[in-house]
Amino acid sequence: MTFNELGLSEKVLQAVEASGYTIPTPIQAQAIPVALAGRDVLGIAQTGTGKTAAFTLPMLSRLEQGRARARMPRTLILEPTRELAAQVEESFARYGVNHKLNVALLIGGVSFGDQETKIMRGADVLIATPGRLLDFSERGKLLLTGIEILVIDEADRMLDMGFIPDIERICKLVPFTRQTLFFSATMPPEITRLTETFLHNPVRIEVARAASTAVTITQGLVASATGPAKRETLRRLIRGAADFKNAIIFCNRKRDVAVLHKSLQKHGFNAGALHGDMDQRARMTSLDAFKSGDVDLLVCSDVAARGLDIPDVSHVFNFDIPTHAEDYVHRIGRTGRAGKSGVAISIITRADQKHVGEIERLIERKIDWLGDETLANLPDDEAAEHPPRRERGSPSRRPAPHRAETDHAESAGRALQAAATKPTRSRRRVEESPAAPAPVLVVEAGAHAAPSRRPRRRQEEDDAPVIGMGDHVPMFMLRPVKLKSSKSAEE
pLDDT at 455 over 70: no
Instruction: Looking at the structure, tell me whether residues 448 and 412 fall in a common domain.
Output: yes
Read off the CATH number of the domain in which 340 is found: 3.40.50.300
Angle at 25 between CA 22 and CA 30, to 5 degrees: 110
Instruction: Looking at the structure, tell me whether residues 87 and 120 fall in a common domain.
Output: yes
89 close to 155: Cβ distance less than 8 angstroms: no
395, part of any domain:
no
459, part of any domain:
no
pLDDT at 106 over 90: yes
Q: Helices (DSSP H) in 48-128: which residue ranges?
A: 51-62, 82-95, 112-121
Instruction: Looking at the structure, tell me whether residues 37 and 148 fall in a common domain.
Output: yes
pLDDT at res. 433: 43
pLDDT at res. 379: 65
Closest CA to 290 of 245, 327, 251, 223: 245
pLDDT class for 184, splitting at 50, 70, 90?
confident
Closest CA to 55 of 80, 79, 72: 79
Closest CA to 105 of 121, 127, 130, 90: 127
pLDDT at res. 374: 74
Instruction: Looking at the structure, tell me whether residues 8 and 115 fall in a common domain.
Output: yes
How many CB atoms are closer than 10 A to CB 287? 21
183 close to 51: Cβ distance less than 8 angstroms: yes
Residue 272's domain comprises 217-378
In the chain, what percentage of residues exceed pLDDT 90?
Answer: 47
Instruction: Looking at the structure, tell me whether residues 120 and 224 fall in a common domain.
Output: no
256, part of any domain:
yes
300 close to 249: Cβ distance less than 8 angstroms: yes
3-state DSSP helix/strand/coil % of the chain, to nearest 5: 40, 15, 45
pLDDT in tens, 26-79: 999 999 999 999 999 999 887 667 889 999 999 999 999 888 888 999 999 999
Answer with the one of 173, 206, 239 that is the final residue of a domain.
Answer: 206
55, part of any domain:
yes
Instruction: Looking at the structure, tell me whether residues 354 and 414 fall in a common domain.
Output: no
Instruction: Looking at the structure, tell me whether residues 407 and 320 fall in a common domain.
Output: no
Angle at 217 between CA 371 and CA 33, to 5 degrees: 170
175-189, 197-211, 340-354, 435-449: which range is least confident on average?
A: 435-449
- Three-class SS state of 41: strand
473, part of any domain:
yes
Report CA-CA distances (Å) from 14 to 18, 22, 72, 101, 338.
6, 11, 29, 16, 21
Instruction: Looking at the structure, tell me whether residues 352 and 438 fall in a common domain.
Output: no
pLDDT at res. 262: 94
pTM of structure = 0.64
Query: What gap in Å lies between CA 111 and CA 130, rounded to an integer?
Result: 17
37, part of any domain:
yes
pLDDT class for 83, splitting at 50, 70, 90?
confident
Instruction: Looking at the structure, tell me whether residues 317 and 193 fall in a common domain.
Output: no
Query: What gap in Å lies between CA 142 and CA 148, rounded to an integer?
Result: 15
Amino acid at 89: E
pLDDT class for 123, splitting at 50, 70, 90?
very high
pLDDT at res. 445: 42
pLDDT at res. 195: 92
463, part of any domain:
no
What's the number of domains the chain is made of? 3
pLDDT in tens, 212-229: 677 889 999 999 999 899
Count of alpha carbons within 13 Å of 189, Cβ hemisphere only?
0
Query: What gap in Å lies between CA 168 and CA 207, rounded to an integer?
Result: 27
135 close to 109: Cβ distance less than 8 angstroms: no
Answer with the one of 361, 378, 395 that is the final residue of a domain.
Answer: 378
Instruction: Looking at the structure, tell me whether residues 194 and 223 fall in a common domain.
Output: no
Instruction: Looking at the structure, tell me whether residues 313 and 441 fall in a common domain.
Output: no
Answer with the one of 139, 172, 206 that is the final residue of a domain.
Answer: 206
pLDDT at res. 209: 63
76, part of any domain:
yes
Instruction: Looking at the structure, tell me whether residues 362 and 409 fall in a common domain.
Output: no
